[in-house]
Amino acid sequence: MNLLMNGEKVTVTVLENFAEQLPDKLFNLGVRIVLAILVFLMGVQLIKLVRKVIKKALQKSKIDEGAVKFIDSFIKYGAYFLLVILIASWLGVDAASILALLGSASVAIGLAVQGSLSNLVGGVLLLILKPFSMGDYIKDSLGNEGTVCSIDVFYTQLLTPDNKTIVLPNGTLANGCITNYTQCHSRRIDIPVSISYDEDINRVKTILTEVLKKDDGVIKEQDHVVFVDSLAESAVIMNIRCYAQNDVYWEVKWRLTEKIKYVLDDVDIKIPYPQMDIHMKQN
């Protein structure tokens, strides 16, 4: 008895042999899949161990923490890629064919992941140029600001003062303007104060200068001055300028602002409200 399939004669014996061998083939395939899963799990643990050893070695060499995280992230992605290629090759997939396919499709892949490649290159530039480090407080060209808590291969994470996490692409950071508030040890404080045109400017300057001299958070070795900044429509704008250490910057600024208000109240110097004189002409 013969069957006809695609124009060729296939005997019942061939079908019977296939049916007899099918359970064994499925069993072998199942075993290979289970072994592949076990190899993958073992590979994951081995990758974690290697990353841990390399990370400790880098930290002992006193490399910047941001660079350590970047290298660790790069090793992680590269190791997982190699692990998947090895498992696929062990399952019978030709690794050379996979790489050839990736090579032939490099243009399409490049267009599809050009954003990721830009972020990768940006991460390398940030690592080399070091416009900021872990723990620095920065602000980017789009107005995002916070403390740098992580520098990975593709993204940098900022922690805002109100405990929010901002994830920024490395490509955007590397190609934009970055303001680093904490790279220097100290930071300047500017506090504008409005006084009436009727007040004695020299007296006000003396009083506010005493406030700066008595505050322990103000760095006395750096310039701390009080000056007339501008003449506004309703008031004379004084500026109190001094420097404080980065770690106490906001504490000193808030304390000085509060002290200035109390001191001016004590000596009866008023902070004027904006006002406008309107003259009405009767016909």
Query: Structural domains in the chain?
Result: 13-104 (1.10.287), 114-180 (2.30.30.60), 186-266 (3.30.70.100)
Question: Cα separation of 139 and 166, whole Å?
Answer: 11
Would you say residue 2 has pLDDT above 50?
A: no
User: What digits encode the pLDDT tens for the residues 40-62?
Assistant: 888 888 888 888 888 888 777 76
Average pLDDT, whole number, for the chain? 81
- Residue 249: what pLDDT? 92
- Residue 1: what pLDDT? 43
- Residue 138: what pLDDT? 92
- Residue 113: what pLDDT? 52
Selected residue with higher pLDDT from 125 and 148: 148
- Residue 105: what pLDDT? 55
Most confident of 39-43, 52-56, 194-198, 267-271: 194-198
Would you say residue 11 has pLDDT above 60?
A: no
Q: 171 vs 17, 66, 118, 183, CA distance in Å?
A: 59, 16, 5, 21
Residue type, 44: V
Inter-residue contact 244 to 187 (CB < 8 Å): yes
Question: Cα separation of 7 and 3, whole Å?
Answer: 10
Closest CA to 77 of 14, 13, 120, 118: 120
Would you say residue 27 has pLDDT above 70?
A: no
Q: Predicted confidence band at 69 (pLDDT cuts at 50, 70, 90)?
A: confident
Alpha helix stretches (DSSP H) within the chain: 12-60, 65-90, 95-104, 106-112, 114-129, 170-175, 201-214, 249-266
- Residue 3: what pLDDT? 45
> What proportion of the chain, given as a percentage, has pLDDT over 90?
33
- Residue 258: what pLDDT? 95
Would you say residue 98 has pLDDT above 70?
A: no
Would you say residue 33 has pLDDT above 70?
A: yes
- Residue 117: what pLDDT? 72
Q: Predicted confidence band at 263 (pLDDT cuts at 50, 70, 90)?
A: very high
